[in-house]
């Protein structure tokens, strides 16, 4: 006589996602040194760049009536989000090294949930970095010239950009699976995302090819939108372009592995 074992019920997706998010936050908190550097590095860069490159504000092509700290702060919000994306890639590689992804594959949950949990984790730390960066910027003379709507829109642009960067670098971590290699690969990708934009100087002062490349860079669109909201000069077109560029990158990066898995099962 054979006995039949009832299948183990699968927990709701939202419970699985919440457990993964809590796990990621706890993992980050267990490495206070990395957490400290991740949160304070953008502040150090803001202080450094605002002092070294403030003469850029004397250029004829620089926006009239805008201080360099007001010009730079929104760019540093976008740049720090890109830098933090590399942490998501390294974390993904470490999970592969530790065999955690193999254990996830054996659990009754959707394969996309670990990546989504990483994205939520990065969004939380993005807001924390923005708060710390804002305090440092105010100490250097920064002033917010927008409205409450501008502030809300800027946060939305920043969170969507964080999701795109987390997905992009997380995919690199899933593919390369070695933290040291992922770190170097992340640096190679991070540099053009940061500097092929108007982050540190008006885009009109850069070579023509760089201006063309900036139109394809979601970080460039995010920088322009964030700066517009900070200065109170944002347009709907700039904000829409920033959201669409980041969302499109997130969709493409997130959908790629899913399509590959479907083709592999045929």
CB 114 within 8 A of CB 91: no
CA–CA gap between residue 9 and residue 15 (Å, rounded): 13
Q: Return the pLDDT at 238.
A: 93
146: tokens are 């927008």
CA–CA gap between residue 174 and residue 115 (Å, rounded): 10
Helix (H) or strand (E) holding 184: helix 179-195
pTM reported for the whole predicted model: 0.77
Burial classification of residue 121, based on how many CB atoms lie within 10 Å of its CB (0-12 exposed, 13-18 middle, 19 or more buried): buried
Q: How confident is the model at residue 34 (pLDDT cuts 50, 70, 90)?
A: low
Per residue in 45-84, pLDDT tens? 787 667 656 777 777 777 878 888 999 899 999 988 888 8
Mean pLDDT, range 240-264, rounded to an integer = 78
Please, where are the H alpha helices in 98-112? 100-105
CA–CA gap between residue 231 and residue 209 (Å, rounded): 27
231: tokens are 């200065």
Q: How many helices (H) and strands (E) does the chain have?
A: 10, 0
Residue 188: pLDDT over 90: no
Mean pLDDT, range 129-134, rounded to an integer = 88
Q: Return the pLDDT at 1.
A: 47
Half-sphere exposure in the Cβ direction for 117 (13 Å, CA): 25
Q: How confident is the model at residue 237 (pLDDT cuts 50, 70, 90)?
A: very high
The phi-psi region of residue 141 (left if phi > 0; otherwise alpha if psi is between -120 and 50; otherwise beta) is left
Per residue in 114-130, pLDDT tens? 778 888 888 888 888 88
Mean pLDDT, range 201-226, rounded to an integer = 88
């Amino acid at each position: 006589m054979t006995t039949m074992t009832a299948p183990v019920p699968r927990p709701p997706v939202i419970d699985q996602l919440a457990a993964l998010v809590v796990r990621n936050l706890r993992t980050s908190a267990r490495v206070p040194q990395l957490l400290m550097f991740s949160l304070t590095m953008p502040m150090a860069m803001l202080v450094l760049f605002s002092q070294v490159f403030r003469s850029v504000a004397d250029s004829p092509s620089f926006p009239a009536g805008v201080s360099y700290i007001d010009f730079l702060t929104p760019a540093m919000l976008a740049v720090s989000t890109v830098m933090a994306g590399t942490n998501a890639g390294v974390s993904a590689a470490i999970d592969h090294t530790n065999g955690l992804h193999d254990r996830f594959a054996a659990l009754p949950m959707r394969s996309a949930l670990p990546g989504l949990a990483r994205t939520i984790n990065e969004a939380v730390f993005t807001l924390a970095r923005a708060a710390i960066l804002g305090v440092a910027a105010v100490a250097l003379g920064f002033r917010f010239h927008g409205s409450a709507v501008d502030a809300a829109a800027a946060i939305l642009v920043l969170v969507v950009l964080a999701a795109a960067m987390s997905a992009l670098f997380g995919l690199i971590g899933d593919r390369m699976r070695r933290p040291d290699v992922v770190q170097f690969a992340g640096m190679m990708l991070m540099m053009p995302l940061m500097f092929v934009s108007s982050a540190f100087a008006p885009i009109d002062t850069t070579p023509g090819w760089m201006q063309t490349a900036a139109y394809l860079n979601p970080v460039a669109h995010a920088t322009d939108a964030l700066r517009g909201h900070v200065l109170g000069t944002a347009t709907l077109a700039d904000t829409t372009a920033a959201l669409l560029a980041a969302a499109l990158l997130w969709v493409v990066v997130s959908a790629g592995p899913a399509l590959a898995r479907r083709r592999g099962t045929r």
